[in-house]
Structure 1
Amino acid sequence: MTRQDERKRPRLPWLVGTGVLTAATSAGLWWLCRGDDPKHMAPALVGGCVVGLAAITVASATVLPTPVVVLCVAAPFTVAWSMTASASDDSGLWGVGALFLAVGTSAGAALVAAGTKAFRSRQRKRVR
């Protein structure tokens, strides 16, 4: 393996660190956007979460493989949301909401990550 090949291939600690940072940022985004009132779902909260998750996904998709990005974005965000939803829901329907959130967040992260990788691949071809 040449030295140039080694620079192109990220090492395992770098990948693990990026995955952990992505997961922590994803979960932290819910706590940041949620505010003081967990029962209040303002459009600004939803929009802020969507934009924030998209930004996190784009940033991590430049380093991590798409399935890892989806896992590191969707799972921690869903767990953070579930913690607040389960604490304030007496009906038990928060579980259904968590399922929908997990599916939607996973699908969105997969689309954004795939789009990011396609865009970066296209940009690399242009430069060459």
Structure 2
Amino acid sequence: MDHRQDATGSTAHRVRSVLGAVVLAGLTFATWWSWLGSDTTYQVDPVTGNRTGPYEPWQVAGCVLCLVVLAVAGTMIRLHRWVVVVVMSVVFTVAWSAAAISADRSGLWGVGALMVAIGMVAGSYAVVWGADTARTALARRQR
């Protein structure tokens, strides 16, 4: 019987990784829905007639901040870097794409989805790399 508490390859580690990935996926979807997914209203400037939206800058900033917190949390509970990056990127991009397909009349939702996917991969990897580096440095100092 393996008595190592969190050894990679142990049953406990695999279960924690799967549960962590499932929770991360759910929270990533909830972040998209609460900040962006539930808002489909475009704003029309009464003077110029320009149509903008559906998202306001504060919504995007709040969404990004929550995604940063999720990426750091996923790293701190020791999910593998690529698990965090892939789960968050796929879930967010699929959620965004599903909404974009239904609202798009131009046929350009795919371009937007590609940009969202690239941004999610790059952004989440940068945050995860930074959090993992900080966590490792802290662990070395505590030894």
TM-score under structure 2 normalisation? 0.82
Counterpart for residue 26 of structure 1: 28
Counterpart for residue 113 of structure 2: 98
Q: Which runs of 4+ in 1 moved over 4 A?
A: none
Q: Aligned to 2:125, which of 104, 110, 123?
A: 110
Q: Could you tell me which runs of 5 or more consecutive residues in structure 2 were left unpaired when the two chains were aligned.
A: 43-53
Which one has a bigger Cα radius of gyration?
2
Equivalent residues in 2 for 1:1-128, closer than 5 Å:
3=3, 6-9=4-7, 11-34=13-36, 36-38=38-40, 39=42, 40-62=54-76, 63-128=78-143
AA matched with 1:56? L
AA matched with 1:28? A
- Alpha-carbon distance, 1:24 to partner: 1.1
- Alpha-carbon distance, 1:2 to partner: 7.1
Q: Does the CA contact (< 8 Å) of 2:32 and 2:96 recur in 1?
A: yes
Farther-moved stretch of structure 1 (57-66 vs 30-39): 30-39
Structure 1 CA distance for aligned equivalents of residues 122 and 37 of structure 2: 25
Structure 2 CA distance for aligned equivalents of residues 70 and 36 of structure 1: 24
Q: Which has the higher helix share?
A: 1
Q: Does the CA contact (< 8 Å) of 1:27 and 1:79 recur in 2?
A: no
User: What RMSD over aligned residues (CA atoms) do the two structures have, in Å?
Assistant: 1.6
Farther-moved stretch of structure 1 (7-16 vs 33-42): 33-42
1:62-96 deviations in Å (ceiling 9; x for gaps): 22111111011111011111111111111111110
Q: Does the CA contact (< 8 Å) of 2:25 and 2:91 recur in 1?
A: yes
Partner of 1:117: helix, strand, or coil? helix
TM-score under structure 1 normalisation? 0.91
Q: Give the count of matched residue pairs.
A: 126
AA matched with 1:119? A
